[in-house]
Amino acid sequence: MSNYGSTPPPPPGGQPGSPSPQDQAKGFFGALFDFGFNHFITPMIVKFVYVLATIALVLGWLIFLIAAFSQSAGAGVVVLLLGPVGVVLYLAFIRMTLEFYLAIVRMSEDIHRRP
């Protein structure tokens, strides 16, 4: 019987990228002040950083929109129509950058766990 199409077994030690019980017990501030750099803080803060970036981009666009409408109606319409495209593109770039950092940390964790 062939195993084609079946899902592979999970890797030993739990799901990939999931924090170990020791990392979970360490906590955010424990990892932040770990001067030996034995625990990674990136997986703990990447979601928070993404939410902050999203809020900052939208607020920045709104402020720019108000400033553009105060200059002229034409400039305001241009910012109203093209601004969301710029926000989405910049947000995609931020997301890819954060995913890259997280992937590097997860690879490092996986390599560190190998016997």
Structure tokens at 38: 């034995």
User: What is the predicted pLDDT for the residue at 112?
Assistant: 81
Q: Which residue type sits at 76?
A: G
Domain count, the chain: 1
What pLDDT score was predicted for residue 87? Answer: 96
CA distance linking residue 77 with residue 85, whole number of Å: 13
Averages of pLDDT over runs of 10 residues in the chain (115 residues) are 52 50 65 81 91 97 96 94 96 97 91 81
pLDDT of res. 90 = 97
CA distance 74 to 18: 50
Rounded to 10 degrees, the C-alpha dihedral 56/59/62/66 comes to -110
Does residue 16 belong to any structural domain of this protein? no
Whether 19 is covered by a domain: the verdict is no
Asked whether residue 58 is assigned to any structural domain, the reply reads yes
Q: What's the per-residue H, E or C state across the chain?
A: CCCCCCCCCCCCCCCCCCCCHHHHHHHHHHHHCCCCCCCCCHHHHHHHHHHHHHHHHHHHHHHHHHHHHHHCHHHHHHHHHHHHHHHHHHHHHHHHHHHHHHHHHHHHHHHHHCC
Determine the structural domain holding residue 92 and report its residue range: 41-113
For residues 115 and 113, give the distance between their C-alpha atoms in angstroms, rounded to a whole number: 6
Q: Is residue 101 in some structural domain? A: yes
The answer to whether residue 1 is domain-embedded is: no
55, part of any domain: yes
